[in-house]
């Protein structure tokens, strides 16, 4: 977790309740920490209870009112139960961050239908399940903000990521559809599209470890999870009160200049 001083007002999310899927590790945990550090009570969910226990202890150690729910976003019954747990403990739900994602590098020739489906199910169907359940359980009557974590690789394509770029393109499209349908309910739906973030599981899986010099990125470096989480915080807050259906790319400008630095086969 970062000890970086936030440029945002400390009480920006005072009184709000946020749910972050995939919130036990990596970017999701940093989003949970940053939202909590700005006054939100935070619920995190993921499939792995031991990770959730460690994360909630960390968040509470940072003075954040936090809870967890074990949940596979692919399973609508587990997602619905999570909404009920969050509402029972915190009383309302104002912010939903769809961050849970699956990833592994594989050439199309080495990707089974089930492998492709596993990632689409987690990233796209999971975002749909959680958004719909949050809408039905609370947001449709009270409004709120949904922030979906996408990626920037789908704008140009990327080798070994056919399943992921397909899922993330779907997340972008789903977000726009939700923004249109739910705007009249006072719900804003926006996307943060991160590039490579140092120290994350995603980078370990796709880039095979730490990132080196990055002259192809206009800002010349990988980002941090905190820099991506700041965009989530902005979109979740009233500072973005007239933004919906927007995609905010947070990748140092990488997608403008770089197709892929990954080899086309493994």
List interacting residues with ligand COA (CB under 6 A): 101-104, 106, 110-112, 114-115, 118-119, 122, 201-202, 205
Cβ distance to ligand COA smaller for residue 119 or 236: 119
* Smallest separation (angstroms) from ligand COA to the CB of 160: 9
Query: Residue 222 in 3-state DSSP?
Result: coil
Tell me the C-alpha to C-alpha distance, in Å, between residue 252 and each of 1, 42, 98, 216, 220: 21, 28, 22, 10, 8
Tally of CB atoms within 10 A around 156: 14
Q: Please give the full DSSP string across 248-261, using - where no structure is assigned.
A: EEESTTHHHH-S-S
* Smallest separation (angstroms) from ligand COA to the CB of 173: 20
Cβ distance to ligand COA smaller for residue 202 or 223: 202
Which DSSP category does 209 fall into?
S
Cβ distance to ligand COA smaller for residue 106 or 191: 106
- Strand order, beta sheet including 144-149: 66-70, 41-46, 17-21, 95-98, 144-149, 187-194, 247-250
* Smallest separation (angstroms) from ligand COA to the CB of 129: 15
C-alpha–C-alpha distance, residues 158 and 168, integer Å: 12
Cβ distance to ligand COA smaller for residue 17 or 197: 197
Cβ distance to ligand COA smaller for residue 81 or 118: 118
Q: Which residue is nearest to ligand COA (CB)?
A: 102
* Smallest separation (angstroms) from ligand COA to the CB of 252: 18
* Smallest separation (angstroms) from ligand COA to the CB of 71: 14
């Amino acid at each position: 977790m970062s000890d970086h001083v936030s440029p945002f007002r400390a009480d920006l999310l005072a009184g709000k309740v946020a749910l972050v899927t995939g919130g036990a590790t990596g970017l999701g945990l940093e989003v949970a920490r940053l939202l909590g550090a700005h006054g939100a009570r935070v619920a995190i969910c993921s499939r792995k209870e031991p990770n959730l226990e460690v994360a909630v202890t960390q968040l509470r150690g940072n003075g954040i009112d936090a809870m967890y729910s074990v949940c596979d976003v692919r399973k609508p019954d587990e997602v619905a139960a999570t909404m009920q747990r969050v509402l029972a403990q915190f009383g309302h739900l104002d912010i939903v961050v769809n961050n849970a994602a699956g990833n592994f590098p594989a050439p199309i020739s080495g990707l089974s239908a089930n492998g492709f489906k596993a990632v689409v199910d987690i990233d796209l169907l999971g975002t749909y399940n959680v958004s719909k359940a949050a809408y039905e359980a609370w947001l449709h009557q009270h409004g709120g903000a949904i922030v979906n974590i996408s990626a920037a690789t789908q704008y140009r394509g990327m080798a070994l990521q056919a399943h992921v770029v397909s899922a993330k393109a779907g997340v972008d499209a789903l977000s726009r559809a939700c923004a249109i349908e739910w705007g009249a309910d006072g719900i804003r739906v926006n996307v943060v599209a991160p590039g490579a973030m140092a120290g994350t599981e995603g980078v370990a899986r796709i880039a095979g470890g730490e990132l080196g010099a990055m002259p192809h990125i206009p800002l010349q470096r990988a980002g941090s999870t905190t820099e991506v989480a700041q965009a989530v915080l902005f979109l979740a807050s009233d500072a973005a009160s007239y933004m919906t259906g927007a995609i905010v790319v947070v990748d140092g400008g990488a997608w403008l200049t770089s197709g892929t630095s990954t080899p086309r086969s493994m």
